[in-house]
Structure 1
Amino acid sequence: MKVHHILICFFLSLQDGNTGLTNAQMTPVYTGTEGGDIRVTCPFSSYGRSMFFCKRECKPEDILIHTTGVRDQRGRYSITYEGGGFFFVSITQLTKSDSGRYRCGLGELITELEIIVVDALLDGNPFKEKPLYTRAGGNIVVGCSFIFCGSRKYFCKEECGEKDILVETTGFTAERGRYSIKNMGQMMYVSITQLIKSDSGRYRCGLEQCVPPDSYREFEIIVKDDALVYAVPIFVIIAIILGLTLRICIQRKTKTEGLQTSENSDRANMELAPYENSPPVSTSESTYESLDPASRDQNQTYATLTHTHTT
């Protein structure tokens, strides 16, 4: 059944005037998501002494990595020869600026390829279809993967009625204002440039299959103003600064109270120091002699003092 679909789609493409794939459309296309990694294959019939990977026209400043060994790494780029007439190039931490045409060379042999970095890659798995948050003024690219081909490709919003069609084509590429669509076999790329807040909503990238029913992928875009995009990070930063300031104040207060307590203790010790070497205070028994007659010394003579009042 897949072969039948391919033959029918090829026949329809001939009717549309597309007599075959051009060199640009025959170029292998690799899709990666922003922030992720990608690995591309560079096929050759024999192994040479020099392997390189470059962008655009491959001028000296365009060479991203070059080696005469079997493997090498340079920043986000790595190159490896594993035999079998292939060597592989990997790029980590993809950004939108990585999208474009590349060349990989082995000696004097050069092959071309294209890399498209998307915000999301949809393959029909509902668990992967999460809202795409972006900021106003930016761009967004979504890749839609299909099993079958179709004659008409479209990109629409909300209910996807005729008035909701943003851009459509029966060819390979189409552009309408800020919207564009690019068809690369079983992969379709849709994009919106210069996003505004009213671009928020549900979207659908779809194709009219050669044999019904139609197939499509849905996704949601949420566009936020720059102020809202950066509000949360700024709030977090302010909270961290306030927390650190409060912590420093508490530490200083604790340290000050500790010094005051230590000073008071030293002052108290200094006040008590002069009395430490003084003799102990005598008790009443040692100060006054007992007046108990039984305990008096019998040989001791006591005198009676009489006070005479004179008038």
Structure 2
Amino acid sequence: MARPRGKKRTAAEAAAKEPAKRGRVKRVRAPPRPTEYFPEKRNLEDLWFSAFPIGTEWENIDKIKEFNWNFENLERALEEGGELYGKKVYLFGSTEPQLLYVNGERKIVLIPVIIAVDCPFPPSDKIGINSVQRENEEILPMKAMKMAWVPYVPLEDRLSRIDSLKTKIFTLGCTQRRSALKHLKTERVKKFDYCMPYYMPLQPVEDEDDTVINFLYPLEPPIVDDFDWEMDDYEDFADQKVQDDILPEDEKEKFKGFLKEMVRERKRELKQAKEARKKAIDDMDPKEKEAFENIKFYKFYPVKTADTPDVGGVKSKYINRYYRSAHYLM
């Protein structure tokens, strides 16, 4: 008997019974990343931030970064064609709290300012420490507060050898580490809050013949006021404080003694300041004396930008009690 002939397998049946062949998985190319473009940094863009904001409380220094402040006016002044181009300048920073409009609301803003001193020599190597809360003024070497004039290196020169640079820009630097403040005594930390760059002008300042003292009398609450030793009478001044219920009656004599000692101390300070100025001028090199006779102060505020508040209405030429006022407000 003939064997039945087998049926021819269809292609579909053959494919179902045969093991699947492994095919190479095609790699899918990731779409190309868009090219990122960063704005080119200006040559002096970080100059203002290199100047230590002297006299600003440590806990407030970070508030300066709240806005992206811009000091292109300072940069232009130091670049070719600017008022300070090619001159030796010394820069220090400071801050001024002001009530400004921010996003339609009034808010206290800590405005950074930069003082540029146009002088071929450092204006001073000392720091003054003074405030209403402190009884006595201190004049200390900068290094006692870990400060010094530091050469500033523009961006385009930062790959050059430091010893070959001939920079004419110096900024006030401070090497005190904030992380180490917790190991310092409170009095030492507070000294930084009251620091001001010291400067002794050749010409007497206006208040050297001033007869007014600012005082803080330690009571609870303390008495903060002014006393003019030529215009005010000790007895009448104390009586008025008693009548205003500011000073207890049994504290009056002690208060008058306090005022008299403050006046004596101020007179001693004025006398010493005059003598120190005379000696400094007498001992000064003629070239140095000429430089200080022609010294100029420039005060820079940040320029207005789309993302910073407008400071145009609060600008002031006043610098501090030593430098007094700027010659030029920028």
- The TM-score normalised by the length of structure 1 is 0.18
TM-score under structure 2 normalisation?
Answer: 0.17
**Structure that is richer in helix per residue:** 2
Task: Tell me: higher relative CO, structure 1 or 2? Use CA pairs within 8 A at least 6 residues apart.
Answer: 2
Rg comparison, structure with higher value: 1
